[in-house]
């Protein structure tokens, strides 16, 4: 699967300027129309990738409808850009990736999928079970798998609970390093350090910097509880390549207001 004529999703992620911003859309929390509206506002603010999924979205239908709505809106913006000499079409080549809870929450309308293993789950189903069910489906759907090591930190939230994660606690830096080093040895291009959506505290910066040190070839993705640009900036300073935001964007139904908030967020994150 290619994003445009010759760029794969992974190439897009690698060649985007870092730190970059990723929006996560939970189809359980919003209509496809609202998801599309929020996605466009965030892309205008500087978001360079959109993930669709959540820890409870197990049925494919809301996921598929949401992916289709986002793709249609991006296509429309891209077409508009071709009519405007000052706008760039490329700015609208934004990958829409599945961020699935399991093998059923998939859609062929996506550009790719974070093909992940929840490395610190106690349940093998999340480490390798869903993946064995989903691999064939992903190949048939012809969506690009982006291999990802997914590691859940305290407090962990819903994903920690549903994914039965043996959470990494704030004083367990060595465990963090061991998981991340293993992820690097597997060759995962993405390693996602997750504190859980809406977490009261994000992944500690010292964990991120320790992770970055042992995984120089991977992109470090950090998400969960970064509800302002300052928190995102701390993660970036510690070594995060990508910052993921979900909850915050759901506070805004007005596109112009969301664009303004996210523009400031991304600017602060990069400053
Ligand atoms: C969830 O890490 C993401 O998987 C985003 O977290 O909703 O707290 O921004 P928030």
Position 59 pLDDT exceeds 70 = no
Q: Does 39 map to a domain?
A: yes
Position 192 pLDDT exceeds 60 = yes
Backbone phi, then psi, for 95, in 5-degree steps? Answer: -70, 135
Which letter, b or e, does each residue of 180-199 get, where b requires 16 or more Cβ atoms within 10 Å of its Cβ?
bebbbeeebebbbbbbbbeb
24 lines ligand 1 (CB under 6 A): yes
Average of per-residue pLDDT across 169-190: 98
246 lines ligand 1 (CB under 6 A): yes
Pairing of strands 219-223, 242-245: parallel
CA of 240 to the centre of ligand 1 (A): 15
**Model confidence band, residue 105 (pLDDT cutoffs 50, 70, 90):** confident
DSSP state of 249: G
Average pLDDT in the chain: 94
Position 58 pLDDT exceeds 60 = no
Per-residue model confidence (pLDDT) at position 1: 45
CA of 138 to the centre of ligand 1 (A): 24
Q: Does 130 map to a domain?
A: yes
* CATH code, domain with 25: 3.20.20.390
Per-residue model confidence (pLDDT) at position 212: 98
**Total of domains in the chain:** 1
Average of per-residue pLDDT across 37-57: 92
Q: Does 3 map to a domain?
A: no
Ranking 6-20, 77-91, 107-121 by mean pLDDT, the lowest is: 77-91
Residue 169 CB-half CA count within 13 A: 2
CA of 42 to the centre of ligand 1 (A): 15
Place of tokens 């790719």: 112
Q: Hey, what are 242's tokens?
A: 């990508």
The DSSP bridge partners found for residue 21 are 243
Q: 243 in helix, strand or coil?
A: strand
Position 3 pLDDT exceeds 80 = no
Q: Does 246 map to a domain?
A: yes
Per-residue model confidence (pLDDT) at position 56: 66
| Axis crossing angle, helix 255-270 with helix 229-238, rounded to the nearest 10 | 30
CA of 76 to the centre of ligand 1 (A): 27
Q: Does 2 map to a domain?
A: no
- Report the alpha-carbon angle 239-228-175, nearest 5: 40
Are 97 and 113 a contacting pair, CB within 8 Å?
yes
Q: Does 152 map to a domain?
A: yes
Distance CA 159, CA 101 (A): 9
Domain boundaries, position 148: 9-270
From 159, 162, 242, 246, give the residue whose CB has the most ligand 1 atoms within 8 Å, as the site to mutate. 246
Average of per-residue pLDDT across 141-154: 97
- Read off the pTM: 0.96
Position 2 pLDDT exceeds 70 = no
131 lines ligand 1 (CB under 6 A): no
> At a CB cut-off of 8 Å and minimum separation 6, what does 171 contact?
none
Ranking 6-20, 112-126, 205-219, 249-263 by mean pLDDT, the lowest is: 6-20
Per-residue model confidence (pLDDT) at position 141: 94
* Residue 213, number of CB atoms within 10 A of its CB: 12
Average of per-residue pLDDT across 98-102: 89
Q: Does 4 map to a domain?
A: no
Are 211 and 245 a contacting pair, CB within 8 Å?
no
Q: Does 147 map to a domain?
A: yes
């Amino acid at each position: 699967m290619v994003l445009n004529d010759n760029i794969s999703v992974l190439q897009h992620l690698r060649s985007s300027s870092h730190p970059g911003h990723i929006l996560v859309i939970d189809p359980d929390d919003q209509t496809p129309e609202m998801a599309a509206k929020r996605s466009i506002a965030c892309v205008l603010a500087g978001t360079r990738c959109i993930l669709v999924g959540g820890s409870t979205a197990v049925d494919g239908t809301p996921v598929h409808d949401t992916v289709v709505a986002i793709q249609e809106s991006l296509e429309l913006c891209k077409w508009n850009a071709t009519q405007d000499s000052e706008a760039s079409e490329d700015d609208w080549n934004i990958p829409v990736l599945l961020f699935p809870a399991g093998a059923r929450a998939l859609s062929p309308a996506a550009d790719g999928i974070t093909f992940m293993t929840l490395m610190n789950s106690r349940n093998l189903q999340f480490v390798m079970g869903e993946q064995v069910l989903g691999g064939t489906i992903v190949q048939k759907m012809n969506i690009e798998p982006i291999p990802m090591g997914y590691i859940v930190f305290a407090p962990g939230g819903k994903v920690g609970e549903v994914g039965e994660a043996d959470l990494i606690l704030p004083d367990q830096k060595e465990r963090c390093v061991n998981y991340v080093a293993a992820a690097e040895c597997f060759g995962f291009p993405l390693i996602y350090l997750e504190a859980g959506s809406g977490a009261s505290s994000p992944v500690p910066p010292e964990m991120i910097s320790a992770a970055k040190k042992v995984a120089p070839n991977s992109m470090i993705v950090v998400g969960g509880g970064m509800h302002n640009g300052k928190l995102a900036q701390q993660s970036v300073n510690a070594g995060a390549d990508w910052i993921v935001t979900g909850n915050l964007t759901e506070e805004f139904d007005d596109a112009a207001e969301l664009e303004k908030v996210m523009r400031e967020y991304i600017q602060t994150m990069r400053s």
